[in-house]
Structures are given as C-alpha cells and as structure tokens.
Structure 1
C-alpha cells in the first residue's frame, strides 16, 4: 500500500481520489462511517465570497475549478448546484467595506459584481426592504457533502476500513509507515492525517503537535417550501465571524434553499470543546437573523437542528502537506468551516506531495510545522 488516509470525510475522500489518480494505491480508515464527523454536519458550502485575497482564496479558486470538473465526472448524484452567493449590507459604510474586500478578490480572479439596493430584489425578491446594497458572487456553489464524500471514495477505488479507530502509528526508523487499529495493522509508505477536528489527536500519536480545536456550529432546517431563496445569502458580518479568533458565541445567518425544498439556516461559531448540548440561544439567534433577512421565513416551522465541530487552527489556514518533524506523516486538516469547499484543492496538494510532482499552487503557506516555528 502506498498511502493510508485517516478520515473518511470529504477532505480524506478528496485526498484518496487524487492520490489514486496519481497512480498510488490507497486505503482509508475511519472510526465511524463515511462523512460521520464534520462533513456530515456541514451545509455543503463552496464559497469564494467569504475569503480575503491570499492563500486560502487561492486554494478556494483551485477547488472551485476542480469541483466543476468533479460534478461532471463523478458517478451518482452529489447535488452540485452553481447557485451563486449574495452578500448584503444594511448601510453604506458596510457597502464601502465590502467594496474594498471585493476589489482584492477581483485582483485574485474572483467574479464579484456590486449590486445596488434595487438590484438586490431582482436577485432575491423576498429579501427584506431597506438594505443598502451588496455583492453577487456567481461562482459560489453547493454540494451535498455526505454524498460528495461517498462518491469521491467510490471513484478512488480505495480500500475502506470503517468503524476502526486508529490507536497508534507504525514507526520504522523514526518514520511513519502505517496505522494500527484494534483489528489490524495497515502498512504503507505514508500516512495522511485527514481526521478533521481530531487532527490534533492523530498528530499526538506521531509524537508531534497540531493545535486543532473544535468550533461548534448549529444549522436549522425548515419545512419544505417552493424555492423562495435562490442564492446562498448572508449579511456582511458573516465574513468577520469567519475570520474571528473569539471563543464566544457568534452568529450571522446564512440562508439558502435546497433542491428538495427545506431552507438551511446557519451559521454559529463558538469554542466550547466537544460539548454536544443544544444551545437554545444559538438557535434563537439564527432564526431571528434569518427572518430579518427574509421576512417570509418568519412563519415557517423548523423541522430540526443539527450541529458539528469545525476544525479550527489559530491562523484560519488548514495544515496541508508533509510534516518535516515526522517523516512519512502528512496532514490535511484544520479547514474550519471551509473544508467541503477546499477539499479538492487539498487533495490535489496532498497527491502532488505523495507523488513528488509539482503542486498546483504554492504549498508553503499551509505547512503543518508553522505553529511550532511561531512558538519558537
């Protein structure tokens, strides 16, 4: 076996897919089912609109192109929908801030179109009145995340070992050469840590560190209704929430319709460890903010709420690539709430590192040992 990947979420699945396309033999091991962690609790966001110019946006642009290719070639239905995104502002000061943000994105190659107050209602007829303007991002899109992970894994041809927790790593002369579970040893030339929120625990098994922390988020699911929300719509303060280092509860409604009818309403962020209890305050805020954007939603029933844990790293960039402190170990985790959108680009970077080929974009900003360098 050439590589064992720890994690059967969408990032691990993308690593398996692109590694196999590079001619490598692949096994994937996960303590639960496919998409049983953060991926299964995601909304399927493929966003450029919330990313400032820099390495993450570069990775998102690569991933956007790759998602389009995957939607055309993956067997089965991943519910890829190029719906576009709409970021709205309540006052002219916020419009000016969005304008500067969009200027940097355009310079990086993003299609960002300013929309005046009247134009907002043309794009979204049910939006609340009185908004000052916004920006339309035609390249924002959506997938069904669990289906996407399953289809990527199936297309990779990887050997799957589900329901098997990795309890240790096989070492040979200091290098990682496989994983141990309660049932078996899987030997390989390299191991990829795609364990998401639990990436820090996997790093610890190798005797190294990666400061991944869980950041809890809730999503509301409404009763089905005709498509009243056409795009992925959110207020400008969502961008600030994504970039925030605060551990406190933050919420800014992201509202979108789905092909099957329900409206999805996210997103909250808070660092409370792996606390799985229901936060009525988080749900109340989401419902109130969503109705503020779309008054038509105020009378809808919420059928359910779910939550997951985003893998947070302090500088808001994922760790992708070989760990120079531990030969044979690569990391592909720490994407926070952007893992589904960034998965294909991450997989392509990991495949290039495994195969020793030229990466599709500079990998240095994502190097896993950067936190140890900062502490020194």
Structure 2
C-alpha cells in the first residue's frame, strides 16, 4: 500500500516509523522542516498522570510501552528519553483529597500512582508546607524534535521517503477510490491512503482532503532557565494542572509545571489560551508562569530565564484526538488534534493508524481503534460536520 503522511512533526514521524516498519510504501510530506510546528514548542511530556480513565489514557499506556521499545531500538540517548517519573503536589488538604480520588481511579485503570506524604523527601528543594502529593513512576520525558527526527530517520531506513518544503493541496481519485495526493506545486504523489498528521493545521488539511474537522489552536508558553546543577529530580506539577488541561475556557489559564533537562536547564509551564494564531509574546503570561514556579521551588527566584517560547496546541472541542478513517473520504485517515499530549501519544497513534491501514493488529493496537477517537463523532447522521 502506498501511503502519504502529511506532517513531519512527532505524530507524522511516529506514523511513518510504524507504517514503514510494517512494510508499507510511505512518503512523508511537509511544507516546512521536520518538527518545526507544535512539536518544537513543547516540553516533551510522556504522561499518564494527567489523564482520566478512558480512551486517551489507554492510548497513553500503550504509548509508554512503545516509547521504551523505540528507545531500545534507536538508543534512548538519541532523543533523550528519561524515565524520570512525575510528582503531582497539592497545595491544600482539600486539593490533596481530590488528587487522591483521581489517583484511585487511575490505579483501577492500571496506572501506578503512589501516595506521597512527605514531598520534600522526593524533591528536597520544593517549597515547605505542602500537604502531600502522588508519585507517578511511569511518567517520562523526551526531547520532541530529536524524537521526531530519530523516528523519521528510522522510517527512511525502512524505505520511507521524506519530502519537506512541499504542501499538500488535495487528493486525486478515480471511481470513488483515492489514487494520489496533489501538492501545492501541482505534483501528484501516488497514494492509496493519506494520513492527516498536520497538527494545528489538521482542520484545514482535512478540508482540502474533503474531510473537514474542527481542530483549533490553543497557545501555550514554556520558559527556560539558565543551566543549573541537578536541582529537580522529577517532573513536578500542581494538582490543578489536570483540571486546566480539560478546561474549554477561552481565557488565559496557567498551572505550575517544572522539570529539569539533561542539559541542566529547567523548563517551566504551563499556559493555555484561545487567541487564534496570534504568536505575540505576552509578558503577563511569562510573569505568571515564573511566579508559579518560584512558589513551588523558591530557589528559582535567584535563577535567570534565558528564553521563553510559545506555540499552538491543536485541540478538538471534546479534548480528544481524532484518529481513524474518515467515512466521507475513502482513503483519508486522521491523526491530529492531540492538544498538549501529542508527544506522549505519538507512538500509539502511529501503531493505531498502521493497524487501520493494514486491517490487522499492529504493535498492540487494534484496527477497530477506540470509537471515542474516530472522526464519526463529529458528524451528523447524514455525514455533515456537527
């Protein structure tokens, strides 16, 4: 099967890696460089700790296994895979009770979540007086652009082709069957299937492919400190992060997320707001994130920021990704709308898309997928977008 994957970010790279490994004839197409979009604007989270039981958590659990497999095959240092674990902390007793109930639901779904009474024993430099938290030893981190590049290099070794600097314009077909993808400069790439892995632009690409989706941008900022000795052992975030991720509010929301990197810098997040594709640097957001981080780790008050970057996370109205074949356009398979979870969910998304293309299980993914993630959920009974 000839497959064109549109998007060379982490989702497209993972789809290419799994599809090419399965023997499919893969071409990856992107109008820009590898990982230049949302992939390059994130922290590299591979998280189970922030997900309610359901299809997204199941996808995350499969992905966690597949990230380890990719590390074993490609070398974990290739994309800085760190099984550092996560520590979620509560600032009040009420918050700790709610966090404990959330963790109990996750444990019932197969996640390792361990109560922590003395957070200072886990993070010696954390603010005093916190009532407790929950440890998530399965949480991990990767360097996102390195990961996308490594997966694509591996896909190319399996026979895939990578075309950058070319945008997809439309599909071509004959007799109701997809036969190719036409690029913006008029070239037609033969294809029996096309994978929409265009991230924040997945809605627009879907429209060009005859299968429009509601995929919207949500702006987020990340701060980076000067390099430091190892001061923070885990990915540490406040318990309100989970609620903010699931929120549909249009206004600015911030929650404290702090972690170190192999290079010594500390990454500080997280913010989210619906401002369209406005790329402006907002000093107020930077100030709120910095204040939250200093409240959680007071030593950061004496540390310099060296940069702040921002990007757009692709989200759907129900905060779940769209993964699966589109009934309106035979041959079109969506893999987009992952919001801030795309890095963590990428390997399982690639395995699931490959299983759907093959029509058989692949790397633990069932071709039937997860019904709650299929594009059908956005369509009326007549097939029109809701």
TM-score, scaled to structure 1: 0.97
**Do structure 1's residue 213 and structure 2's residue 219 form an aligned pair?**
no
SS at match of 1:320: strand
- 1:201 counterpart residue number: 204
The number of equivalent residue pairs is 374
- 1:92 counterpart residue number: 93
SS at match of 2:302: coil
- 1:151 counterpart residue number: 150
- 2:284 counterpart residue number: 281
TM-score, scaled to structure 2: 0.95
Shift of 1:204: 0.4
Deviation larger for 314-323 or 170-179: 170-179
- 2:64 counterpart residue number: 64
Shift of 1:183: 5.7
8 Å CA contact 1:164–1:183 kept in 2: the answer is no
Listed as ranges, the gaps of 5+ residues in structure 1 are none
Q: Deviations over 1:198-255 (max 9, x none)?
A: 0000110122221000000000000000011110000011111100001111011210
- 1:7 counterpart residue number: 7
- 1:338 counterpart residue number: 341
- 2:108 counterpart residue number: 107
**Do structure 1's residue 262 and structure 2's residue 247 form an aligned pair?**
no
8 Å CA contact 2:211–2:326 kept in 1: the answer is no
Shift of 1:368: 1.1
Rounded to whole Å, the distance in 2 between the matches of 1:32 and 1:122 is: 45
8 Å CA contact 1:325–1:369 kept in 2: the answer is no
Deviation larger for 209-218 or 357-366: 357-366
Q: CA RMSD in A?
A: 1.3
8 Å CA contact 1:177–1:191 kept in 2: the answer is no
- 1:243 counterpart residue number: 246
Structure 1 stretches (4+) deviating beyond 3 angstroms? 373-376
Listed as ranges, the gaps of 5+ residues in structure 2 are none
Rounded to whole Å, the distance in 1 between the matches of 2:180 and 2:229 is: 50
8 Å CA contact 2:210–2:328 kept in 1: the answer is no
SS at match of 1:373: coil
Rounded to whole Å, the distance in 2 between the matches of 1:309 and 1:246 is: 16
Q: Deviations over 1:102-144 (max 9, x none)?
A: 111101110000001xx21011000001111100000000001
Q: Deviations over 1:277-331 (max 9, x none)?
A: 1111111110000000000001111000101100010111100011011101000
- 1:35 counterpart residue number: 35
When residues 249 and 8 of structure 1 are mapped into structure 2, their CA distance, relative to the original with a 3 A threshold, is: same
Alignment equivalent of 1:297, drawn from 287, 295, 300: 300
- 1:315 counterpart residue number: 318
- 1:83 counterpart residue number: 84
8 Å CA contact 1:218–1:305 kept in 2: the answer is yes
